[in-house]
Amino acid sequence: MTPLALLGVVSSAIFSGTSLLYATLGEIVGERSGVVNLGLEGVLLVSAAAGFAASAASGTPYLGILVAMIAGALMNLILGYLVVSRRANQLASGLALMFFGFGLSAWIGRDYVGAKITGLPRLTLPGLAGLPTLYGSLLRFDPLIYLVLPTAALVWWVLFRTRWGLSLRAVGEAPDTAFAAGRNPGRIRYRALLAGGLLAGLGAAHLSIAYAMNWTEYMTAGRGFIAIALVIFSKWHPLRAIVGALLFSGAVAFQLLLQSSGVQVSPFLLNTVPYLLTLGVLIIWGGRRRNAAPASLGRVYQGAE
Amino acid sequence: MSSRDRGRAWPRGLQAALRYVAMAVLALALFAVILLLAGKDPIQAYRDIFTSTLGSAYGLSEVFVTMTPLLLTALAVALPSRLGLINVGGEGQLYLGALFATWGALRFSALPAWLLLPLMIVLGMIGGALWALPAGYLRARGIVNETITTLLLNVVAPSIVAYFVFGFWHSPMDTNKTANFAAAARLPTLGGTRINLSLIFGVVLLALFWYVMARTRWGLEMRAIGGNPGAARRSGIPVARYLVGVMMAAGALAGLAGMAQVSGYYGVLLVNFSRGLGYMGFLVSWLAGGTPLGIVVTSFVVAVILTGGNLLQLTGDVPYAVINILLATTLFVVLARPSLPRRRKVA
């Protein structure tokens, strides 16, 4: 295996893993507050369609990114209304949101199938300008890719080093106790969903505006569910999610490399490895409850008022 | 019960009916707003949906066709929910059922129908049950929550189907589907319609589900586990065996739905053929409160909406997926009303 081929795998894993990581971070924020969003697939689709449509209509990808983020936040607020304000079942509400996303994204995107947009510019880091062009071209990334690691660090910092994050996690573990301590669980869950929607929107924007640069119906192809699996894999921790996202997207890139070097492995079987690995990791952790899911995850907070 | 309570029973039923009507009107109004925003005539669209589904014998038969797999995937959620098990894995179990049944159809295509179809049914149910086994086992041992296991395996299942179809079974013409099944491998259909025998399976199994839960020792013990697993264990009920067994039975039901889709509806195994039938079953079961009659009614309503969407696509030049908006607004409206009568907690 040549260094160039290896670099190619890493580069393509970074490209396809970025949207996954943003979406995973968004889901982590929501789940840490106790709300599981099974409709992430639909949220991503609507954001990707809205962001792409805005880019195509306005000619600027940056407006598209903004619109995608707003769309993600609005979608999550629908979930918030159902599960927080109306105290509906989280799993059923999430699945309903997913089907809503299937429909709405097809509707938004119907005039933009095959449309052309200007994607995000690719930038080379200053220190890497001296590399040979072949290597250099593999290391030219768009701004959203450069921003994803700082974003993960920021999410970690907010969740684990700020008062806001402490409240959020407290609500995710024990909403009644948090309420007794003067927090408002409903409002905190709304805010967590809002932040999570913005992050999911960023991921979707990267998918349709920067990575694929087009819109096709159901283009997320299961990424929402992959992100939900990644949240479990990363034990609800933003920094571990980085490793997870690279591993999941790396498996796809790695199979291309195997094929080019003559090893015949079915891409479909290789695709299943990360999920089976996740399941394996969960089994090894076994019944150990430490570092596991937020205690109130998926439960309806009945409230005390 | 005092006479006063009995006197109030009817108005309360009327109240509930009015509430459902109000919710339906609200959902239709929400979708009408979206249609108006897109410059379509909502009245015409609704008239089209109605005439294309309930207004003709053919339309009605298509509603039953759409409803058929939902009965089974909803039952695959309702049954384990009685033990407090949340099976979100209908989607994956359905794919595995389709895969196993297809293997039977291709491998034993020379067999006569009376032998081949039962074989495919059994294979489909085995496939679904095996796919649900890890979830049941890991839950019974207290290792991994069944929601997480089933969600993960859902993502894996379509890849396995794709592996077999692309790798071994695809027809000479298309790479993404198998050759058409032999006539003996097709479930019989009713008259000139596309309604197939699995509609009967769904109805019979729902009736059986009601009977088992209400009239047998199994049902009693399952309800005991759902009520209080600790107390059930102390009173000698083999809780772990029930958790694994019921989860596998649920998987078998979803697997049967998969078998019915490839054998009855498509007649081929197509990559990614489901796109949400299992998840839809979860929603149907949840909305129906997990009751057999509720599942029949809810799947019928969902099927009317989905079937009407086909026509909307033909006449209104909108993508088929858009009908999901009407479906979802209906679901949102129902979900937003937490105090529905006779609602039982599924999750």
Task: Give the CATH number for residue A186.
Answer: 1.10.3470
- pLDDT of residue B344 exceeding 50, the answer is no
Q: How confident is the model at residue A3 (pLDDT cuts 50, 70, 90)?
A: confident
Interchain contact, B34 vs A107, CB within 8 Å: yes
- Nearest-CA distance B338 → chain A (Å): 6
Stretch B40-55: mean pLDDT, rounded? 82
Whether A41 is covered by a domain: the verdict is yes
Beta bridge partners of A123: A141
Render pLDDT for A9-28 as a digit per residue (tens, 0 to 9).
888 888 889 999 999 999 99
Interchain contact, B347 vs A298, CB within 8 Å: yes
Whether A293 is covered by a domain: the verdict is no
A88 or B342, greater pLDDT: A88
Chain A contact for B39 (CB, 8 A cutoff): no
Residue B116 near residue B110 (C-beta atoms within 8 A): no
Interchain contact, A102 vs B152, CB within 8 Å: no
- pLDDT of residue B162 exceeding 80, the answer is yes
pLDDT score recorded for residue B152: 87
Architecture of domain B45-324: Orthogonal Bundle (1.10)
Render pLDDT for B303-315 as a digit per residue (tens, 0 to 9).
988 888 776 665 6
Q: How confident is the model at residue A293 (pLDDT cuts 50, 70, 90)?
A: confident
Phi, psi of B270, rounded to the nearest 5 degrees = -110, 140
Instruction: Specify the range with the lowest mean pLDDT, choosing from A83-97, A188-202, B303-317.
Output: B303-317
- Mean pLDDT over each residue of chain A, to the nearest integer: 87
Render pLDDT for A164-174 as a digit per residue (tens, 0 to 9).
999 999 999 99
Instruction: Specify the range with the lowest mean pLDDT, choosing from A90-99, A103-112, A177-186, B24-33.
Output: B24-33
Interchain contact, A222 vs B155, CB within 8 Å: yes
Phi, psi of B178, rounded to the nearest 5 degrees = -80, 170
pLDDT score recorded for residue B313: 63
Interchain contact, B335 vs A92, CB within 8 Å: yes
Q: Please report the DSSP string for B115-141 in residue order.
A: HHHHHHHHHHHHHHHHHHHHHHHHHHT
- pLDDT of residue B340 exceeding 50, the answer is no
Domain boundaries, chain B: 45-324
Whether A123 is covered by a domain: the verdict is no
pLDDT score recorded for residue B1: 40
Residue A134 near residue A2 (C-beta atoms within 8 A): no
- pLDDT of residue B93 exceeding 80, the answer is yes
Whether A305 is covered by a domain: the verdict is no
Q: Between A98, A105, A226, which is nearest B279 by CB?
A: A98
Chain A residues near residue B338 by CB distance under 8 angstroms = 86-88
Whether A132 is covered by a domain: the verdict is no
pLDDT score recorded for residue B314: 58
Residues 6+ apart with CB under 8 A from B243: B83, B85, B136, B139, B140, B225
- Nearest-CA distance B152 → chain A (Å): 6
A260 or B345, greater pLDDT: A260
Q: Rounded to whole angstroms, how far apart are CA atoms B123 and B107?
A: 12
Chain A contact for B331 (CB, 8 A cutoff): yes
> Please, which residues 117-136 of chain A have a Cβ atom closer than 8 Å to chain B?
none
Interchain contact, B282 vs A92, CB within 8 Å: yes
Counted domains in chain A: 1
Render pLDDT for B244-257 as a digit per residue (tens, 0 to 9).
999 999 999 999 99
Chain B contact for A97 (CB, 8 A cutoff): yes
Q: What percent of chain A has pLDDT over 90?
A: 49
Chain A residues near residue B283 by CB distance under 8 angstroms = 92, 95-96, 99
Tokens of B329: 């607004």
- A293 Rama sector, left if φ>0, alpha if ψ -120 to 50, beta otherwise: beta
Interchain contact, A103 vs B287, CB within 8 Å: no
Whether A149 is covered by a domain: the verdict is yes
CA nearest A117: which of A62, A69, A72? A62
pLDDT score recorded for residue A290: 52
Tokens of A12: 């393509």
- Nearest-CA distance B328 → chain A (Å): 5
Render pLDDT for B95-131 as a digit per residue (tens, 0 to 9).
999 999 999 999 999 999 999 999 999 999 999 999 9
Whether A296 is covered by a domain: the verdict is no
pLDDT score recorded for residue B346: 47
Taking the model in full, what pTM does it have?
A: 0.88
A217 or B123, greater pLDDT: B123
Tell me the residue range of the domain where A240 lies. Answer: 3-116+137-285
pLDDT score recorded for residue A196: 97
Render pLDDT for B130-153 as a digit per residue (tens, 0 to 9).
999 999 999 998 888 888 899 889
